[in-house]
């Protein structure tokens, strides 16, 4: 997949996936959203990111399953009973669906970074909201330098005999006060230098020039139109109750697979295939 789609198109596609993900627990649609992410990873050979995301997700999944099964006793199918507390199959399935949704959220943000080029995104947002973009860039620039500065200051103060491994919280705060005061002063000075440099260079004094303007292509119009259709259909089906799913109601298990869920799932998969085409 080439990063040939417009930044706005990528934002709308990922935003649509997030909206659908938060609006329903239907397992058919949730699985189709997972397939959407998997297609993005497989088409770009980003299997390393796929594996890393899954590894980071495992602890959250285990914690979610344990907490849900301990505190939720709803359901008719009892798996086992411990200390007069019921552990049901329905609570386990609900925990698995919730864990899967957390994994998809993680994958969506990774897919967003795969779908767009950082330089194109910076150029696009700089032309629309230049002040906010500059502020965000400065903030992202200062964080790594602040981290390095804290490490250097700690080494200096350790040589001077300051103990940062104090047992009491009050002593720890007291030992870090000189570091944060110096860090605040350095950050302010660096911010003033950046602001002065931007003023001297005439930032926002005239119309900004664009080195390479990112234009909408036919593929972008098709994707935006398809996103609009999927959003309208999803809202209609949700209002009508066709995508409603409650794991603790036995009848909803068979109602999860219906025409509405299949239409939305097929549309999401079609969207992913057009993106990677």
Q: How confident is the model at residue 15 (pLDDT cuts 50, 70, 90)?
A: very high
Lowest-pLDDT choice from 26-30, 59-63, 247-251: 247-251
Residues 253 and 208 sit within 8 Å (Cβ to Cβ):
no
Q: What are phi and psi of 86, to 5 degrees?
A: -85, 135
Q: Which two tokens stand for residue 142?
A: 């200062």
Q: Are strands 85-88 and 78-82 parallel, antiparallel or unpaired?
A: antiparallel
Q: What are phi and psi of 59, to 5 degrees?
A: -60, -40
From residue 35, how far is each of 31, 102, 104, 111, 273 by CA, in Å?
6, 14, 9, 12, 11
Residue 111 and residue 41 in contact, taking contact as beta carbons nearer than 8 Å = yes
Q: How many CA atoms lie within 13 A of 23 on its CB side?
A: 21
* Distance (Å, whole) CA 155 – CA 149: 10
Of 193, 154, 41, 170, nearest in space to 104 by CA: 41
pLDDT tens column, 40-53: 888 888 888 888 88
Q: What is the mean pLDDT of residues 136-159?
A: 79
Domain borders along the chain are: 7-121+212-276, 129-200
Residue range 160-174: mean pLDDT, rounded: 76
Judge contact between 6 and 214, C-beta under 8 A. Answer: yes
The pLDDT assigned to 3 comes to: 64
Q: What percent of the chain has pLDDT over 70?
A: 90
pLDDT for residue 19 is more than 90: yes
């Amino acid at each position: 997949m080439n990063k040939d789609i417009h930044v706005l198109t990528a934002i709308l596609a990922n935003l649509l996936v997030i909206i659908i993900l938060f609006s329903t627990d239907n397992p058919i649609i949730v699985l189709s959203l997972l397939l959407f992410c998997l297609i993005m990873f497989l088409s770009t050979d980003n299997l390393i990111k796929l594996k890393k995301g899954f590894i980071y997700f495992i602890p959250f999944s285990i914690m979610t399953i344990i907490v849900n099964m301990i505190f939720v006793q709803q359901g008719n199918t009892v798996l086992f009973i411990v200390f007069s507390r019921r552990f049901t199959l329905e609570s386990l399935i609900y925990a698995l669906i919730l864990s899967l949704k957390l994994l998809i959220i993680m994958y969506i943000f990774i897919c967003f970074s795969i779908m767009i080029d950082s330089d194109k995104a910076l150029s696009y947002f700089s032309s629309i909201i230049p002040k906010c973009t500059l502020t965000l860039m400065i903030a992202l620039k200062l964080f790594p330098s602040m981290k390095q500065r804290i490490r250097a200051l700690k080494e200096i103060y350790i040589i001077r005999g300051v103990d940062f491994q104090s047992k009491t919280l009050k002593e720890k705060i007291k030992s870090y006060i000189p570091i944060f005061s110096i860090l605040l002063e350095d950050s302010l000075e660096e911010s003033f230098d950046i602001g002065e440099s931007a003023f001297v260079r005439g930032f926002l004094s005239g119309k900004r020039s664009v080195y390479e303007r990112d234009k909408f292509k036919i593929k972008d119009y098709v994707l935006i139109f398809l996103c609009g259709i999927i959003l309208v259909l999803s809202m209609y089906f949700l209002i009508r109750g066709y995508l409603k799913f409650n794991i603790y109601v036995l009848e909803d298990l068979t109602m999860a697979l219906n025409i509405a869920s299949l239409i939305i799932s097929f549309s999401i998969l079609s969207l992913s295939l057009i993106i990677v085409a």
